[in-house]
Chain A
Amino acid sequence: MGMPSANATSETLKLCIFDLRRGQNEGQELDKILFFYPADLPFSTQLSVIGLSEGLITFTRIFSPEAACEVIEAEGHSHVFYEAEPDIWMVMVVEKNKDSEAIWRIDGLRSLLKELHSFFLMFTGSIRALLDKEPSGGLIRTHLYYFIMDYLSDFLSGKKLQLPNFRDSLKERGTVHMLTIGREAALEVQSLVKVLELCVGSSQCSSLIMYQDLLVSSTLSPEDTVNIFNYAVLRLSPRALSSGASSWSYLRKGNTAPGASGPMLPNSSSVLEVYYGSQENSVGGHSYNVLRPLKHGHWSRGNDGFLVTDSWEAEAGSLVHTCPTIWLHKTDERMYLCAYQHRSLTIIFLIPVASVLNADQEIPFVKQQIIENVALKIIKVEEKLSRGWGGENAYHVSGYRYLLVDDDRCISRASPPGKVTTLTKESLVALSRLREEVDLEKSRAKWDGLGHEKDLEVCIRAKNNAWVIARLTRGKELYMVLEKANETLLYASDAVEKFSDRYCNGAFSFD
């Protein structure tokens, strides 16, 4: 009872979004649910999950008004909370101990909720805004339903959702991965950016250039760069477009490209019906123009090199080739998103909607300009980058398994996943636990107002003789596993020092 295990496969994850401002009267509790996965759970169960969450949010606010409930750890489950918008909460419930892989890092899971919400903001705007637009909730529910199901489909491995666990300890969601380029190439890229801006003609145009799944350049704010970069890796990069290809990026999972999100959306219309079955007027996805930017297989490369999508078709209703739009986080500005791809190089540029009077004419014109004036330069840059590109293992450092995070710039670099898989489970779990500890220290420092001043060094020699290391300094983080290292602490410290000097400009070195 309470949380029945009617369907074993759907038990491993529950994900819900609810609005504390809704459904406060008895009998209207269903109203507060904006999203629930799995949708086929009985309402009593859904409400009991949300009831517990709501109760604990209220309870914890009594003594911790500045930060309400962040996590509930129970013997069998972890409940991860994220207040996405004021009074709008996302709660993820994951099962522990189901199998030996179910070892989670709470902040790792929360970063997934954050990413999901950032994407939603980018494409659709805030949940609250959609609720205000249509207080009955049908609109937001429909949007959230398709959006989240499309998002989750990336985590589908076989029939099961595979969430980031301890094996992902050397990854950091919500960051960008940079391509390291030489000075000459950097100058080329620089001039490409300049030419692009000239072509688009608008001073507020922003651009983002990627080589494969790595960022080459961005003129956007860090937050917006992270969002667009990660979206591009998921859906726009050459790998994402050639479905079936396995990606080595953490953002894409496994070999099985889900293609359409079939398995995730079993009976979508009926699921949506139940929420507002009482409201006869609008049922199912038909009466709403649902934006599904995360739906698989809806981007393709046109003959002119520009990427096209039909995901935005429905929005405007009739237009054949609507140019997708997104919201910028920093300026809250609506932008047209255009992407051009030449081999491994993807160029994304954003044009303020406000600056375009007639999109149907102006956008194609801009595209034409680019093809005429920039295409050659793009080819040149692509060639240059390809020549310097070291392949998937370019950032492998022999003997080290590492993750380097620059919090200020939202950048991370890590050992290639293929190399991380050589680590034993023991080492990875030890690292996951250490990162959990560091997460707590960081959050503590945040509440104490220390922020980035947190300075910490931890070197652990684990039971299996691996060195598991964390270093925090001035907003930079370094995590490392050394499995075949010497047994002395000094050796391990020395290894970190060398790494820091060689790859981090000495950021983690002591003088």
Chain B
Amino acid sequence: MLSDSNSSSDDDQNPKPDATSIDQSLDAIENQLASISMSQSVSEFESESEHGIHEEETTELNHQDFRNGSLSEIDQLSLHNSVPEEVSRSEKDVDEPKASSSRLWTNAVEEEEVEAPSSPSSSGYAGERGSSSSASGILEVNNDGEIDAVRNDGEFDEVSDSQAPWVPGKRHGDEDDASISWRKRKKHFFVLSHSGKPIYSRSVIAAQLFLFHCSIGYGDEHKLAGFSATLQAIISFVENGGDRVKLVRAGKHQVIFLVKGPIYLVCISCTEEPYESLRGQLELLYGQMILILTKSVNRCFEKNPKFDMTPLLGGTDVVFSSLIHSFGWNPATFLHAYTCLPLAYATRQAAGAILQDVADSGVLFAILMCRHKVISLVGAQKASLHPDDMLLLSNFVMSSESFRTSESFSPICLPRYNPMAFLYAYVHYLDVETYLILLTTSSDAFYHLKDCRIRIETVLLKSNVLVEVQRSVVEGGMHVEDLPVDPASRSGTVSHLGQPRIPTGPPERFKEVFHGIGGPAGLWHFIYRSIYLDQYVASEFSSPISSLQQQKRLYRAYQKLYTSMHDKGVGPHKTQFRRDENYVMLCWVTQDFELYATFDPLADKALAIKICNRVCQWVKDVENEIFLLGASPFSW
């Protein structure tokens, strides 16, 4: 609408039709919200929490159950309904004007954010539209900050609706739980087409958009499009002026815009994440769409600007919500590198050898992964896999429940490899967390790949690789507490990541002993990224950052540090020391690697530098175990 009217803006008679139209839609929005936001009642908070939006807090309490897989979907739901009441109360405290007495605490709580999108059903959205066909999901964070996506369907909606009644027609005027949810969450993503059509009308993203519209008093999809249209209007208004809008900042909020041909992506965030990080997240979101659809979807828009992409993405909401969730915990999303499961060199070699074997038989890429960590991967000659593609692919596989239950053969596109063409992915879970992906260009290679998988599986079982994988998962990665104190004593009997194993006692005991106050000199955590390997290794979280909130805050601090070091205009810098009330952080970028280390805020500078050197040495000492070393022609 905007672009049309703007084309006549030379006419002084009607000089600013565009802005007026923005105004009109926005005025309506604003007036509605202004009245809404005045009142907040406890019951509304509670009803909000019943919508099950507080994934992270709830799951922190429940993860054990989830991991055991002992809960039925209904059980999960009831947990959702019972636990968040506490949470909602603390939220309420947060929403109230800042009490100066508990300022620090308040801030800490505010740090918590719930950007893991709600299940559409729990927002009442899917239920309202009676769309049981749309897949919906809940994201859960387990102990290691990883995602288990729990798929559910229409039945769930019903249950949800019955437990948390939601009356569409009721949301007007002073109804405000959705508006609270809007403000409670720190980050919102929107995807729309260049004609202003919401692309995820049935997805989690649209559910948020929908929530937003509930918050402004609109309850139906028709009006939902109005907000999309506003975003679209802003983008095309600036575009018509011969420019391209990137960012709008207002107080704590940032609105980030990304235009990808006919697809517009927008993020509204009040997290502290820098613009560059959020833009990177939109890029990944777009990449995830391309992975599902390829870029040739653009042609549909060329043919018909009002093309509705939604049906093409049907059932993929969990993929996007899981990706959005990973923006809060997975360093791969901003480091543009992947991480490996720590394994003995020989074990990884064994896995690599059999993968190489099948790669030679016409498989483009063979990837063996455990959760988001790579065990081994092999590519056909000259084919290289971008870390972002790996992130998107593993997210796609892990978030889709169907891959877990049976072997699958699915068309996918690797946006960095070739955004225009589909590849075919054969996916098979070898155990609960370990899965094999075989990529090929041939659409009829299923049986061949199945044979390959059988061969691989046999070899992996025979060579004990899967057992070793399980063992590594239990033992975890590098613990800062294990940092070798004296470089001279590195020799001798070392097994797991340079540390002598304690021969007796259960692993829990082992951890108890060593998980006290972080590593030497107040070292709390580090990330080491090898530039030429495109891989990173992050230490396990030590006790000073044991809670999810602390981990997320640390993650954000890394994002900031990374952005600051890699400034587009003048970066990359060489070294950075940063101290604030939360941490001392040190970053060191060389041609070969980047080290990001976090210390206690009172850490001694000179000592911290020494420790960083030692960390680098440690990583080099165990690089055979923590990295996938160039055994394959995979990258170069």
- Whether chain B is bound by chain A comes out as yes
Of B6, B182, B234, B243, the contact of A59 (CB 8 Å cutoff): B234
B253 within 8 Å of A (CB atoms) = yes
Does A437 lie within 8 Å of B26, measured CB to CB? no
A70 touches B577 (CB 8 A): no
From A60, A440, A460, B253 is in contact (CB under 8 Å) with A60
Residues from chain B with Cβ under 8 Å of A44 in the complex: 9-12, 15-16
Interface contact B577-A458, CB-CB below 8 Å: yes
Say whether, besides A47-B19, A50-B19, A70-B249, A462 and B570 are in contact (CB < 8 Å).
Answer: yes
Query: Cβ of A59 and Cβ of B249 under 8 Å apart?
Result: no
- Chain A interface size, as a band, is 35 or more
Beta-carbon contacts under 8 Å, B594-610 to A: 605-606, 609
Q: In the docked arrangement, what's the CA distance between A77 and B22, Å? A: 21
Q: Among the listed B22, B245, B253, B275, which residue makes an inter-chain contact with A58, where contact means beta carbons less than 8 Å apart?
A: B22
The answer to whether A463 and B564 touch across the interface, beta carbons within 8 angstroms, is no
A334 within 8 A of B: no
Q: Which of B29-37, B413-421, B442-450 contacts A (4 or more CB under 8 A)?
A: B29-37
B residues in contact with A64, CB < 8 Å = 250-253, 270
- The reply to whether A29 and B245 form a contact with Cβ atoms under 8 Å apart is no
A55 within 8 A of partner (CB): yes
Given that A56-B234, A458-B578, A460-B573 are known contacts, is A449 also in contact with B98, CB under 8 Å in the complex? yes
Residue A134 CB within 8 A of the other chain: no
Q: Is B233 an interface residue (CB 8 A)?
A: yes
Q: Which of B110, B230, B248 contacts A71 (CB 8 A)?
A: B248
SS of B interface (majority): mixed
Q: Which residue of A lies closest to B32 (CB)?
A: A62
Question: At the interface, yes or no: A391 with Cβ under 8 Å from chain B?
Answer: no
Residues in chain A near residue B92, CB distance under 8 A:
none
Bound state CA distance, A62 and B226, in angstroms? Answer: 14
Q: Which of A77, A103, A433, A489 has a CB less than 8 Å from the CB of B577?
A: A489
Partner of B252, one of A56, A437, A447: A447
Q: Is the CB of A60 within 8 A of B19?
A: no
CB of B580 within 8 Å of the partner chain: yes
Q: Please, what's the 1-or-0 string for B485-509, where 1 marks a CB less than 8 Å from any CB in chain A?
A: 0000000000000000000000000
Shortest Cβ distance from A72 into B: residue? B248
Residue of B nearest to A59 (CB): B26
Chain B residues numbered 571-627 whose CB sits less than 8 Å from any CB in chain A: 571-581, 605-606, 609
Query: Cβ of A62 and Cβ of B216 under 8 Å apart?
Result: yes
Contact A51 B20 (CB under 8 A): yes
Kindly supply a per-residue 1/0 record for chain B positions 426-469, scoring 1 wherever the CB is within 8 Å of any chain A CB and 0 otherwise.
00000000000000000000000000000000000000000000
Q: Which residues of B contact A70 (CB under 8 A)?
A: 249-251
Q: Which residue of A lies closest to B98 (CB)?
A: A449
Name the CB-closest residue of B to A51: B19
Within the complex, what minimum Cβ distance (angstroms) separates B604 from chain A? Answer: 10
**Pairwise interchain contact A448-B578, C-beta atoms closer than 8 A:** no
Q: How far is the CB of B286 from chain A (nearest CB, A)?
A: 17
Most A Cβ at <10 Å: residue of B16, B243, B581: B16
Inter-chain CA distance A61–B246, complex, in Å, is 18
A461 at interface by CB-CB < 8 Å:
yes
26 contacts between A and B (CB under 8 A): A1-B6, A2-B242, A3-B241, A3-B242, A26-B20, A55-B19, A55-B26, A55-B237, A58-B22, A60-B255, A62-B29, A63-B268, A64-B250, A64-B251, A67-B252, A72-B248, A74-B246, A75-B244, A433-B567, A448-B110, A449-B100, A457-B579, A458-B564, A461-B575, A463-B573, A489-B605
Residues of B within 8 A of A (CB): 6-7, 9-12, 15-16, 18-20, 22-23, 26-27, 29-30, 33-34, 37, 98, 100, 103, 107, 110, 182-183, 216, 230, 233-234, 237-238, 240-253, 255, 268, 270, 272, 274-275, 564-565, 567, 569-581, 605-606, 609
Apart from A1-B7, A462-B570, list 16 A-B contacts with CB within 8 A.
A2-B9, A2-B242, A44-B9, A48-B19, A52-B234, A52-B241, A69-B250, A70-B249, A73-B249, A430-B570, A433-B570, A450-B103, A457-B577, A457-B579, A461-B575, A463-B574
